[in-house]
Structure 1
Amino acid sequence: MELGDAIFTRTSVRYYQEREVEEEKIKELIEAAIRAPTASGLENWLFVIFKSSEAKKKVYELIAKGMIEYYQEFGLSMEKIEKLKKRIYGEKMYRAPLYIGVFMNKNVRFLKGEKFDLLEFVWSVESAAMAIQNLMLKAVELGLGTCYMGVANFEGIEEEIRSVAGLGEEWYLVGLITAGYPLREEKPRKRRKDFEEVVTFV
């Protein structure tokens, strides 16, 4: 598969087969992730594979809680919230054979001093985010689907996911990714903005 094919066919997958992801493919995902650029060469990332039944159940429940909170804050009616719950709990939306938490260690940094606190944090998040993109594109090549779960960073939820991972407060969850074999074929959605709207030359 060409890189362009992976980029333009990648899409968010929300429904998965119950089929497990092979250990070799998990390894390939992480090996692709850690080829991403990393600020100051620190590689202060950690990839937590939530694979046991107990861990997956806890993470799934936290995703469901976050999704409901998200749409409540968005102002969705209770009727639509109930439909969302049906999709999550009845149709198993976001229930994946694998969840990957991408964390970065806030205590590992290159520049010392309070004046660089924010900059070092941003650099570390950017490094982990680039690793996530590598991982998601590699997943396309391997016939896997993924979805980035932003709700995992809601207050309270991020802390609980970190607890499930057995990590201390120095670790920050940059992203939680669902991964597995798609239940059905998903087509990428067209972007709302075209080239001219998102680019400026100076």
Structure 2
Amino acid sequence: MELDEAILKRSSVRYFSDEPVREEEIRALIEAAIRAPTASGLENWFFVVFKSEEARRKIYDLIGEGMVEYYRAVNLPEEKIGKLKRRIYEEGMYGAPVYIAVFIDRRVRFLKGEEFDEVEFIWSVESAAMAIENLMLKAVELGLGTVYIGVTNFKGIDKKVRELAGLDGNYYLVGVIPVGRPRNETKPRGRRRKAEDVTKIL
């Protein structure tokens, strides 16, 4: 598969089949992720794969909790939140055979001193985000679907994910990625804004 094809075929998949993700596929995803650029060459990312039934159920519940909090934050009516809950808990939205949580270790840094705390943090998150994109593009090549989950970063939920991963407070959660074979045919969405609309050449 050419890179252009993978980029154009990638889409956010929210419904997955029950077919397992093989160990070699998980390894291939992580191998692709760690080939991403990393600020100062620190490689301070850390990947936790939730594969057991118990761990997946707990992550799934935390995603559901985060989605409800998100839609309440944007003042979605309770009636619509109820429909969302049904899609999650009755239709299995976001239910996947594997979840990959991506963390950064905030202790691993290049520039010392409090004045560099913010920029070091930003660089680390950017590195992890690039790793996530590599992982997602590799998933396309393998016939797998993915979706980025950010609502697990809400205060309190992030701590629960971290504790479930067996990590201490030095680790910051960048996102959770459900991974599996799409339940239905994927249809990548176009973009509302064209390249020329978001580009300035000087």
Name the TM-score class by shorter chain.
over 0.9
What is the deviation of 1:72? 1.2
Residue in structure 2 matched with residue 49 of structure 1 by the alignment? 49
**What is the letter of the counterpart of residue 29 of structure 1?**
L
- Residue 170 of structure 1 corresponds to 170
Task: Determine the C-alpha separation between the residues in 2 that align with 1:53 and 1:116.
Answer: 41
Q: How does 1:152-163 map to 2 (within 5 A)?
A: 152-163=152-163
- Secondary structure of the structure 1 residue equivalent to 2:37: coil
Alignment partners' CA distance in 1, 2:125 and 2:73? 25
Task: Using the TM superposition, give the Cα deviation of residue 74 of structure 1 relative to its aligned residue in structure 2, in angstroms.
Answer: 1.1
Whether 1:8 aligns to 2:17 is no
- State the secondary structure of the residue aligned to 1:148: coil
| Maintained 8 Å contact 2:16/2:96 | yes
Partner secondary structure for residue 56 of structure 1? helix
Q: Residue 190 of structure 1: CA displacement? A: 1.1
Detail structure 1 runs of 4+ shifted over 3 Å in the superposition: none
* Inter-partner Cα distance in structure 2 for 1:176 and 1:152: 7
Cα distance in 1 between the residues matched to 2:125 and 2:162: 16
Structure 2 segments unaligned to the other structure (5+ residues): none
Question: Structure 1-normalised TM-score?
Answer: 0.99
CA distance, structure 1, for counterparts of residue 105 and residue 150 of structure 2 = 19
The whole-number CA distance in structure 1 between the counterparts of 2:35 and 2:196 is: 31
After TM superposition, the structure 1 = structure 2 runs for residues 44-83 of structure 1, keeping only pairs within 5 Å, are 44-83=44-83
Q: Among the aligned pairs, what percent are the same residue?
A: 62
What residue identity is the alignment partner of 2:26? I
Alignment correspondent of 2:123: 123
TM-score by length of 2: 0.99
Q: CA RMSD in A?
A: 0.6
Partner of 2:102: 102
Deviation per CA, 1:158-201, whole angstroms, max 9, x where unpaired? Answer: 11000000000000011110100000111011111112211011
Pairs aligned (count): 202
Verify the 8 A CA contact 2:106 2:171 in the aligned structure 1: yes
Q: Which residue of 2 aligns with 1:91?
A: 91
Structure 1 residue 5 displacement after superposition: 0.3
Give the C-alpha shift of residue 54 in structure 1.
1.0
Q: Deviations over 1:113-157 (max 9, x none)?
A: 111111111111111110000000000000000000010111111
CA distance in 2, matches of 1:107, 1:191: 37
User: Structure 1: which 5+ runs fail to align?
Assistant: none
Residue equivalent to 2:24: 24
Give the aligned residue type for 2:153: N
Task: Trace 1:145-156 onto structure 2 (pairs within 5 A).
Answer: 145-156=145-156
CA contact (8 A) 2:100 2:178 kept: yes
C-alpha displacement of 1:45: 0.8
- Aligned partners of 1:94, 1:111: CA distance in 2, in Å? 38
Separation in 2, partners of 1:43, 1:144: 25
> Would you say the 8 A contact 2:150–2:174 is kept in 1?
no
Q: Counterpart in 2 of 1:144?
A: 144
